[in-house]
Amino acid sequence: MKIKREPMGSYQTNCYIVTVEGKDFIIDPGVGATPWVMQNVTNPVAILNTHGHFDHVWSNQELKEKLHIPLYTPKDDVFLLQNSSWMPGLPPSFPDVEVEGDAEFDFEGVKVKFRHFPGHCPGCSTIEIGDVMFSGDFIFERSIGRTDFPYSDPEAMKESLKKFSKLDYDKTVFPGHGDSTTIAAEQQNAPYWINML
């Protein structure tokens, strides 16, 4: 597996290109991501969204049309892709697959697992490929996603953190902002955040 990361836009939102068995998966193409993605893919197969916030999905439709590949977005966040109250200029995008809850997809032998962790927003999810988790804005290094935004839900975040704490394996975590961490490291921090919410 090869992972390329580039922070995009004023929020420095991490866009990832994950290459597994010659297949390129584009995760969270944010503001201005298209030129970088086009220069760094050779066999793109899918665009994957961890959630629907504008800084993670800005370049969805442009890349989908340029690369002729499907877009996978958590179902509960699809409404954010066409109507962003924060960012009226958001280019609308239209998923080919609306991912429901925890779901796994098989791309000719490469398995991609979405795991639903609502709280930051209704559809907030992580994406697991091999021994790596892409956590979007659910979990960061020593932090969690904000729960004071429109459509955020602190109680849902508590339940998501409890669910996360029960994962019985460790993987490297690549978040939507900032540096990488691990599941095990952030499981140690989860009780603090549960108590703070």
Q: What angle do CA 112, 167, 99 make, to 5 degrees?
A: 35
The second-level CATH assignment, the architecture, of 2-196 is: 4-Layer Sandwich (3.60)
CA 184 to chain CA mean position, Å: 19
167-182 pLDDT per residue, tens: 999 999 999 999 999 9
pLDDT of 111 strictly over 90? yes
Question: How remote is the C-alpha of 131 from its chain's centroid?
Answer: 16
pLDDT value at residue 84: 65
pLDDT in tens, 31-55: 999 999 999 999 999 999 999 999 9
Its sign, for the CA torsion 112, 128, 14, 158, is positive
pTM score > 0.95 for this model? yes
Summarised one tens digit per residue, pLDDT across range 43-88 is: 999 999 999 999 999 999 999 999 999 999 999 999 999 876 677 7
pLDDT greater at residue 88 or residue 133: 133
Query: Taking residues 139-151, what's their average pLDDT?
Result: 96
- Tell me the Ramachandran region of residue 160: left when phi exceeds 0, alpha when psi lies from -120 to 50, beta otherwise: alpha
Residue range 143-171: average pLDDT?
A: 97
3-state secondary structure the chain: CEEEEEEECCCCEEEEEEEECCEEEEECCCCCHHHHHHHHCCCEEEEECCCCCHHHHCCHHHHHHHHCCCEEEEHHHHHHHHCCCCCCCCCCCCCCEEECCCEEEEECCEEEEEEECCCCCCCCEEEEECCEEEEECCEECCEECCCCCCCCCHHHHHHHHHHHHCCCCCCEEEECCCCCEEHHHHHHHHHHHHHHC
Domain boundaries defined on the chain: 2-196
Mean pLDDT of the chain: 97
